[in-house]
Amino acid sequence: MSRIAYFDCIAGASGDMILGALVDAGVPIEKLQETANSLGISGLQLSVHQVKRGEFFAAKVEVHAPHEHAHRHLHHIEAILNKAVLPDPVREKAIQIFRRLAEAEAKVHRTTPEKIHFHEVGAVDAIADVACSVAGLHFLGVERVAVSVFPLGGGTVKCEHGIIPVPAPATVELLRGFPSRPGPVEAELVTPTGAAILTTLAKPGEQLGFIPQQIGYGAGAREHDNLPNVLRVFIGETTLSETADTAMLLETNIDDMNPEFYPHVIERLLEAGAMDAFLIPIIMKKGRPGILLSALLPPEKINAVLAIVYAETTTLGVRLTHITRNKLRRWRERRHTSLGEVEIKFAEWKTPEGQNRQTFSLEFESCKILARQHNLPLREVYDRLCKELKP
């Protein structure tokens, strides 16, 4: 089991809402102020007070920062974070968040991340939002982050570049691959800073079971009709083991395709990022024989895999299912044997009594090479090496 933070984006997410939710869940504001102080920016102060949004009481964190006119580049922000007295994991994740922001802005403006001038997200309060959010999660011992569907809001918002539609273009880029929905109000619900923090720390489409232990509500600045402007966070233990993760299962039934094409399709799916792809003979309606094409893939690879399925097969649609996988701890090693060097795949698991157990298998390609080098049957190579390498 591992420590998890699940962010329930009731009314979206912004930097100050994330901070408020973490403080309400148990992070002392003094700890966040220590992080803010370490940034070396004079006059940077955090405060918190309780407010009511709809029927929810929530923490409203405000970042008080000196007014600036300067626009920062990515290297300026990285320099601030590198000089700060922060735990290494906090510094690394904060820098990763700003790099993703730079990449999103660069894509929107058709330039490179290094040339991007950060405006609102380069201001002192945004830097504090990112650093303090990561530090707050670190204080709570959070190892994994998950996030709900993002409500996108609607309408327009005024920014440095003028009036732009909601969500902002950089926010749209950051939310690629993450479940989202329009509305439910005409307002900016997900800010670039909020999107950058949550989409960098979480995985697209990951659905984790967990046991809630602490709950916090962070308040946004505005009031919305019929929508409490809060972000809720659950802090708890996942019900998955360290060797478990989530994935997507893609399936489609095909009965009208040249069977010679299937090996090519499987090869292309694996190249696109599928972790596995396989075929199962099935009997379809009217007694017609068909093929069930299945692919197991990380959620972030869904668009690439779908593009191949639709281009390379005759299917008109697919089924997508989020699944949980439980995996053995595994690794590879190269060993010297009487026949030469061979690659071995190891797996390890723990019994209910707490004892470690291991198993191994020989890598096929390594054994095939040795069989040809020594002019031996492949089966004989397998048998000989298994006896030689058995503990």
Note whether 281 and 370 are same-domain residues.
Answer: no
Please tell me the total number of residues recorded for the chain in this structure. Answer: 391
Residues 297 and 352 in one domain: no
335-343 mean pLDDT: 92
Burial 337-358 (b: 16+ CB within 10 A, else e): bebeebebeeeebeeeeeeeee
Task: Give the residue from 222, 238, 254 where a domain finishes.
Answer: 238
pLDDT of residue 182: 92
Query: Cα(63)–Cα(16) distance, rounded to whole angstroms?
Result: 8
Q: Which two tokens stand for residue 274?
A: 């599928």
Distance, in Å, from the CA atom of 182 to the CA atom of 166, rounded to the nearest integer, reads 10
* Residue 149 scores a pLDDT above 90: yes
pLDDT band at 46 (very low <50, low <70, confident <90, very high): very high
Residues 353 and 318 in one domain: no
- For the segment 68-95, the average pLDDT, to the nearest whole number, is 88
Residues 136 and 193 in one domain: yes
Give me the domain span that covers residue 101: 3-238
Confidence of residue 122 (pLDDT cuts 50, 70, 90): very low
The separation between CA 73 and the C-alpha centre of its own chain, rounded to angstroms, equals: 25
* Number of domains observed in the structure of the chain: 3
The residue assigned the tokens 């904060």 is: 94
Residue 121 has pLDDT above 90, yes or no: no
Sheet strands side by side (includes 276-283): 276-283, 289-297, 244-254, 319-326
Final residue of a domain: which of 207, 222, 238? Answer: 238
| Pair 109, 42 in one domain | yes
* pLDDT band per the 50, 70, 90 thresholds, residue 156: confident
CB-CB contact of 252 with 323 (8 Å): no
Predicted confidence band at 332 (pLDDT cuts at 50, 70, 90)?
Answer: confident
Same domain, 314 and 374: no
d(Cα 138, Cα 101) in Å, to the nearest integer? 21
Q: What number is the average pLDDT over the span 148-156?
A: 92
Domain match, 344 and 302 both: no
Which of 270, 267, 261 lies closest to 291 in space, CA to CA?
Answer: 261
CATH of the domain at 298: 3.30.70.1380
User: What is the model's pTM?
Assistant: 0.68
Whether residue 352 sits in one domain with residue 283: no
User: Is there a single domain that holds both residue 185 and residue 106?
Assistant: yes
Q: Are residues 318 and 340 in the same domain?
A: no
Q: What is the mean pLDDT of the chain?
A: 90
| Residue 152 and residue 81 share a domain | yes
Which residues have a Cβ under 8 Å from the Cβ of 72 and sit 6 or more positions away?
117, 118, 122
Instruction: Tell whether 136 and 232 lie within a shared domain.
Output: yes
- Cα(118)–Cα(73) distance, integer angstroms: 6
